[in-house]
Structure 1
Amino acid sequence: MTGLRERKKERTRRAISEAAIALFLERGFDQVSVAEVAAAAEVSKPTLFSYFASKEDLVVHRFADHQEQAADVVRGRSGDESALDALRRDFLDGLDRRDPVTGLNDHPQVLAFTGLVQGTPSLAARVGAYVARAERSLAEALREDPDLAPPHELTAPLLAAQVTATLRVLALHNWRRLREGARTADELHPEAVADADRAFDLLSRGYAGA
C-alpha cells in the first residue's frame, strides 16, 4: 500500500508540473498564476503547494534530480579511473544519449524549456541554487578522493567549482548552437564531444599532481 500511495503521489506531482510547464511555455512564466496552474492540473492551490513550495519549483524541481549526479559519479567510479576521467566519461555518455542536461537535445520542448529557464530571472536564480548545492556535494566527494591526497584544503572545492562551471558552460554552448536551428543534435555531436574533451583536458592539466 505504501508503494501504491507513493506512486500515486508521484503521478500527481508530475501532472501538476507538466500542466504548469505547458502553460508557462505557452504564455510565459510571469503571465501565469498559481491558481491557473492548479485549475489546469485539476487540483486545489493548497494541494499544489503541498507538492511544490513555490511557483518556481514547478519548473526547476527537475534540476534536483541532477544535484548528486557528479558526486555519485566520483564515488561510484572504478578504482583505476580518476575523478576527472569519470566525470568526463559521464558527460560524454550524456552527449551520446542526447541527455537534456548536456544541452545536446534538439527536441522542440527541451529547447523551449531551457529557453524558459534561461529567459526568466527568477527561474535562473533558483537553478543557481541547485547548481550551488551540486557543487558542494561534488566538493564533499572529492575531499574523500585519495587521488587528491594529501590535498590542500582548497583543492576539492576549487576543483568542484571548476567542474561545475565547465559542465554548465558546455551545456549552454550546446543549447545555444541548437537554438540557432542550423544544425541538428546529431550533426553537432562530434563538435560537442571535442569541446568536452578539450575542456576536461584543460582541467586535467591544471590538476595534474594535485
Structure 2
Amino acid sequence: MSEETPGTGLRELKKQRTRQALSDTAIELFLRRGFDEVSVADVAAAVEVSKPTLFRYFPTKEDLALHRISDHQGEAARVVRERCAGQAPLAALRMHFHERLDARDPVTGLCDVPEVLAYRDMLYSTPSLQARLMLYSAEDERALAEALVQTGPADEVTAKLAAAQIVAVHHVLARTNWHRLAADRLTGAVVRTAHADADRAFDLLDSGLSAISR
C-alpha cells in the first residue's frame, strides 16, 4: 500500500518511495527464498542503496517484513476514539471487525490471495517475526487501554484488562480464519462462519466487560 499523501514535499515523497521499495523488495525476497536466507545486504543491493541508508529507514530486518502491516498498528484504539457519539467501545469494535471481514482484509485472516497466505505463513513460522508481533500486540494493548480510559468510563486497570482481552480475541479470530482457509477455499459458508465466530467472540466480551459495552 502506498504511503504517498497529497501535499507531500518532493523530499518526503522520495523518502516514502524508498521506504516502500525497500519493504516491497524485502518481502518479495523473503517469500521467494525464506526470511532467514535473505540478508539486509541482499535487500539493500536489490534496491541499490547502501546498508546504512537501509538502516535509516528500517532499524532491523524484522521491521522490513512487518512494514506491510504497520498501518494496522493502533487500529483498535483509533476505532474507539473515532466511534460515533453514544456508541459503546465494544459495539464500535464489533462493527469494525465485521466490516474488515466483508472487505477481506488480511488482518482478519479472511483473505485467500496466495501472496497474503504465504506472507502469513512466513510471519507465524519465523521465531524472530513472532517475537516482534508480540511487541506489536503489547503496543496495541497499551494504545487501546489509553483510548478506553480517555473516551469512556473505564478506570485504568479495567481498561488494561479489557484491552488485553480484545486484542487476544482479534488474534484468535484471525488465526482461526487463516487456518480455515489453509484447509479450504474461500466460500460463502466460510465467510458466514467467520462472521458467526466474530459475533460469538464479541458476545462473550460483551457479557464480561460491562464497563465498556454500554
Quick one: which of 80, 86, 91 aligns to 1:80? 86
Task: For residue 64 of structure 1, report the CA deviation from its aligned partner.
Answer: 2.6
Q: Is the 8 A contact 1:20 1:37 kept in 2?
A: yes
Percent identity over the alignment is 56
Quick one: which of 114, 118, 128 aligns to 2:124? 118
Task: For residue 104 of structure 1, report the CA deviation from its aligned partner.
Answer: 0.5
Structure 1's unaligned 5+ residue stretches are none
Q: Does 1:165 align with 2:177?
A: no
TM-score normalized by structure 1? 0.93
**SS of the counterpart of 1:154?**
helix
Determine the C-alpha separation between the residues in 2 that align with 1:118 and 1:11.
Answer: 28
Q: Return closer, same or farther for 1:185/1:39 CA change in 2, 3 Å cut-off.
A: farther
Residue deviations 1:72-103, cap 9 Å, x none? 11111112210000000111110010111111
Determine the C-alpha separation between the residues in 1 that align with 2:146 and 2:138.
Answer: 13
Q: Which amino acid aligns with 2:47?
A: A
Q: Does 1:66 align with 2:69?
A: no
Q: Which amino acid aligns with 1:37?
A: V
Q: Is the 8 A contact 2:112 2:185 kept in 1?
A: no
Quick one: which of 29, 36, 44 aligns to 1:23? 29
CA-based RMSD of the aligned residues comes to 1.6
Residue deviations 1:84-143, cap 9 Å, x none? 000001111100101111111000000000110100000110111111101100000111
Aligned residues: 206
| Aligned positions of 1:94-173 closer than 5 A | 94-148=100-154, 151=155, 153-173=156-176
Q: Which amino acid aligns with 1:67?
A: Q
Q: Return closer, same or farther for 1:209/1:18 CA change in 2, 3 Å cut-off.
A: closer
Structure 2's unaligned 5+ residue stretches are 1-6
Determine the C-alpha separation between the residues in 2 that align with 1:103 and 1:72.
Answer: 20
Q: Does 1:11 align with 2:26?
A: no
Q: Does 1:194 align with 2:200?
A: no
Residue deviations 1:29-76, cap 9 Å, x none? 111111111111221111111110011110112333112211111111
- List 4+ stretches of structure 1 deviating above 6 A: none
Determine the C-alpha separation between the residues in 2 that align with 1:101 and 1:72.
Answer: 15
TM-score normalized by structure 2? 0.91
Aligned partner of 1:53 in structure 2 is: 59
**SS of the counterpart of 1:104?**
coil
Q: Is the 8 A contact 1:63 1:130 kept in 2?
A: no
Determine the C-alpha separation between the residues in 2 that align with 1:59 and 1:121.
Answer: 13
